[in-house]
């Protein structure tokens, strides 16, 4: 198995390869240049792992939520790569990857992921960090408790905002998210690890961009009604 | 690859059409298009975010259809070409990312090309090698340009363009004034057939006196659009019925008169014997007829691709990509940007 993972839902444009004896990743921080960076990052990952595109057996993309233009670049890259190589393409909620990276830092309790949704809003979801079983207390898994949503930070309940918070929400709104965890952007390597777990569990992972907002435009009928 | 017959896949997503075309050398194998125009009609114009979402959904199915109908396998492709600009930024990025991903996955060279140059190159798959130089007039909802084209793969010079609305935009706006649906071009063309072209003498922008010095090969359609709308309002205010067919025909006559007059003048002054018209407005029947008449009178050879190749499509990008390969141009870098305001003089990104 060799998974190619791509996420462009946060400020990190991030690509990873994961398989037996392979763990390569490459990331660029750039909130705008998604369409420039993704393909070169894939080449770099393949080169550093000494693998060819033909050896990739599956693709994973971050479904977001994230700023639309960047988000689409990662998803279309994954979809086309999978189509070209004739391998399946899976989707994972990008917030799940941030939660998974944050879990070891907070231990067994709840946490919040809040990322930059632009327009003074955040994409967010609440998670529970749990142990897999009593015999391995160090093995933590995260479980999403709420559907991903987009809101103004001040509109989140106080007890939710007070949770340890991953993502750039606390960087943008330090007063509203007082408990920051230093996990800012998605890492594709984590996305790949999550996908592998879910594949092993036989989970269905559709590719589905999480826009959470409708396009900004009024139909002629709506304009007339104003 | 077969050096004289490169197999090229072309991607176009600069506006609301998701296009994937397949060209072998100078032959079009298939042109697959998914359009989101029906979704935009509800909004009365192209909504960039709606277009971008539609591109993402349509991308893989359109690639599949293009390769299946062309009877080729992706691994047999020699090169990939993509519109890198100009166009809607978010829409361009979907196509650019898709083309790059395909290039990496297949290990094939990538050419990021100019959308306007592709509009010129597409006629190669219709009418054979492009005469050099050619004078190209591109008219659509997004562009109105007169171009001198010594070599479509690397030398394109801009002689003039619109200083306000694009020609196609004027059609859309006048259609709205006349209560016709979006996109306006085809509806005005249809309605105008029943009308009198000389019923109303609408203004011909930038065609007289000082304007012909300063804006010799430029266009302006904003004044014309305003004149039409004032004329219609005056009729309505007087309680008289609006002769929709006459207005449409007279408006269309004014647009095509200016376009063809300036195009022929540009040919004459630059000593060019060949005029090519492209872009969505080139599908207009009156423009095609008037251009033919005036070219015949001036001894200029006119080339206009069939309407399906005049509007945005992937075949035009593939056609230019194939020329790039044939002329031995160096492929683009994998980090090429989507450039929403790419100048027409830059053929390749
Ligand atoms: Zn165009």
pLDDT tens by residue, A100-141: 999 999 989 999 999 999 999 999 999 999 998 888 888 899
Q: What distance in Å separates the CA atoms of residue A180 and residue A186, rounded to the nearest whole number?
A: 16
Cα B86 to ligand 1 centroid, rounded to whole Å: 9
Interacting residues of B240 by C-beta distance below 8 A, sequence separation 6+ = none
Q: Considering only the beta carbons, identify the residue of B64, B335, B338 that sits closest to A37.
A: B335
Q: Considering only the beta carbons, identify the residue of B52, B93, B101 that sits closest to A80.
A: B101
| CB B255 within 8 Å of CB B189 | no
| CB A143 within 8 Å of CB A128 | yes
Interacting residues of B299 by C-beta distance below 8 A, sequence separation 6+ = B273
A19 touches chain B (CB under 8 A): no
Task: Give pLDDT tens digits along chain B (349 positions).
Answer: 566 899 999 999 999 999 999 999 999 999 999 988 888 888 877 899 999 999 999 999 999 999 999 999 999 999 999 999 999 999 999 999 999 999 999 999 999 999 999 999 999 999 999 999 999 999 998 889 999 999 999 999 999 999 999 999 999 999 999 999 988 999 999 999 999 999 999 999 998 889 888 999 999 999 999 999 999 999 999 999 999 999 999 999 999 999 999 999 999 999 999 999 999 999 999 999 999 999 999 999 999 999 999 999 999 999 999 999 999 999 999 999 999 999 999 999 9
A85 touches chain B (CB under 8 A): yes
- Our CA-based measurement puts residue B194 at a distance from the nearest CA of chain A, in whole angstroms, of 28
Interacting residues of B281 by C-beta distance below 8 A, sequence separation 6+ = B139, B140, B141, B167, B168, B171, B185, B255, B259, B287
pTM of the model: 0.94
* B313 CA to centre of own chain: 9
A65 touches chain B (CB under 8 A): no
H helix runs in B167-326, sequence order? 167-177, 184-192, 209-214, 222-237, 244-269, 285-298, 307-310, 314-326
**What would the two tokens of residue A112 be?**
């919040």
Cα A221 to ligand 1 centroid, rounded to whole Å: 28
Distances (CA, A) of A86 to A78, A209, B64, B310: 12, 21, 11, 33
A135 touches chain B (CB under 8 A): no
Residue B89: closest CA among chain A residues belongs to which residue?
A69
Pairing of strands B134-139, B274-278: parallel
Interacting residues of A186 by C-beta distance below 8 A, sequence separation 6+ = A7, A9, A10, A12, A14, A62, A94, A97, A98
Burial class (CB in 10 A: 0-12, 13-18, 19+), B82: buried
| CB B209 within 8 Å of CB B258 | no
Q: Considering only the beta carbons, identify the residue of B94, B105, B334 that sits closest to A72.
A: B94
Interacting residues of A108 by C-beta distance below 8 A, sequence separation 6+ = A129, A130, A131, A140
- Contacts with A52 from chain B: Cβ below 8 Å: 107
Interface predicted TM-score (ipTM) of this complex, two decimals:
0.95
pLDDT at A218: 74
Cα B279 to ligand 1 centroid, rounded to whole Å: 5
B298 touches chain A (CB under 8 A): no
Backbone angles phi, psi at B102, to 5 degrees: -65, -40
Backbone angles phi, psi at B112, to 5 degrees: -90, 120
pLDDT tens by residue, A156-215: 999 999 999 999 999 999 999 999 999 999 999 999 999 999 999 999 999 999 999 988
């Amino acid at each position: 198995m060799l998974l190619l993972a791509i996420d462009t839902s946060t400020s990190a444009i991030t690509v990873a390869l994961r398989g037996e004896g392979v763990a390569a990743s490459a990331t660029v921080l750039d909130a705008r240049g998604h369409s420039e960076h993704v393909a070169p990052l894939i080449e770099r990952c393949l080169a550093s792992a000494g693998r060819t595109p033909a050896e990739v057996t599956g693709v994973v993309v971050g479904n977001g939520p994230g700023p639309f233009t960047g988000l689409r670049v990662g998803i279309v890259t994954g979809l086309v790569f999978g189509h070209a190589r004739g391998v399946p393409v899976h989707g994972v909620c990008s917030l799940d990857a941030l939660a998974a990276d944050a879990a070891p830092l907070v231990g067994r309790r709840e946490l919040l992921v809040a990322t930059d949704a632009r327009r003074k809003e955040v994409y967010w979801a609440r998670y529970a960090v749990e142990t897999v079983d009593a015999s391995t207390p160090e093995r933590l898994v995260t479980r999403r408790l709420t559907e991903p949503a987009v809101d103004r930070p001040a509109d989140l309940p106080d007890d939710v905002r007070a949770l340890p918070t991953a993502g750039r929400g606390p960087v943008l709104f330090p007063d509203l998210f007082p408990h920051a965890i230093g996990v800012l952007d998605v890492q594709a390597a984590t996305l790949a690890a999550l996908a592998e777990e879910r594949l092993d569990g036989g989970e269905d992972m559709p590719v589905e961009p999480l826009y959470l907002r409708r396009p900004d435009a009024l139909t002629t009928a709506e304009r007339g009604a104003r | 690859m077969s050096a004289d017959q490169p197999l090229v896949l072309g991607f176009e997503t600069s506006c609301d059409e998701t296009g994937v075309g397949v060209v072998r050398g100078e032959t079009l194998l298939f042109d697959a298009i998914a359009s989101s125009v029906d979704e935009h009609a509800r909004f009365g114009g192209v909504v960039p975010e709606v277009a971008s979402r539609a591109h993402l959904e349509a991308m893989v199915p359109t690639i599949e259809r293009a390769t299946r109908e062309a009877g080729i396998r992706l691994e047999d492709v020699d090169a990939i070409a993509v519109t890198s600009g100009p166009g809607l930024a978010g829409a361009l990025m979907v196509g650019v990312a898709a083309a790059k991903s395909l290039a990496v996955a297949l290990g094939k060279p990538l050419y990021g090309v100019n959308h306007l140059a592709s509009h010129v190159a597409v006629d190669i798959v219709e009418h054979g090698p492009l005469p050099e130089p050619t004078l190209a007039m591109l008219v659509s909802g997004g562009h109105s340009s007169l171009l001198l084209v010594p070599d479509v793969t690397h030398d394109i010079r801009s002689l003039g363009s619109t200083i306000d609305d694009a020609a196609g935009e004027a059609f859309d706006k006048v259609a709205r004034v006349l209560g016709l649906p979006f996109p306006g071009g085809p509806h005005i063309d249809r309605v105008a057939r029943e009308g009198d072209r000389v019923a109303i003498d609408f203004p011909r922008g930038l065609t007289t006196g000082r304007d012909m010095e300063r804006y010799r090969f430029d266009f302006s359609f904003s004044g014309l659009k305003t004149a039409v709308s004032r004329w219609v309002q005056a009729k309505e205010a007087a309680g008289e019925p609006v002769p929709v067919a006459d207005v449409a025909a007279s408006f269309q006559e004014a647009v095509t008169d200016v376009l063809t007059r300036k195009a022929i003048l540009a040919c004459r002054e630059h000593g060019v014997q060949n005029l090519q018209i492209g872009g969505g407005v080139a599908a207009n029947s009156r423009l095609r007829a008037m251009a033919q008449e005036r070219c015949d009178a001036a001894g200029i050879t006119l080339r206009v691709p069939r309407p399906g190749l005049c509007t945005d499509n992937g075949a035009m990008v593939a056609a230019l990509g194939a020329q790039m390969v044939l002329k031995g141009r160096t492929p683009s870098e994998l980090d090429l940007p989507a450039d929403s305001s790419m100048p027409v003089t830059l053929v390749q990104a």
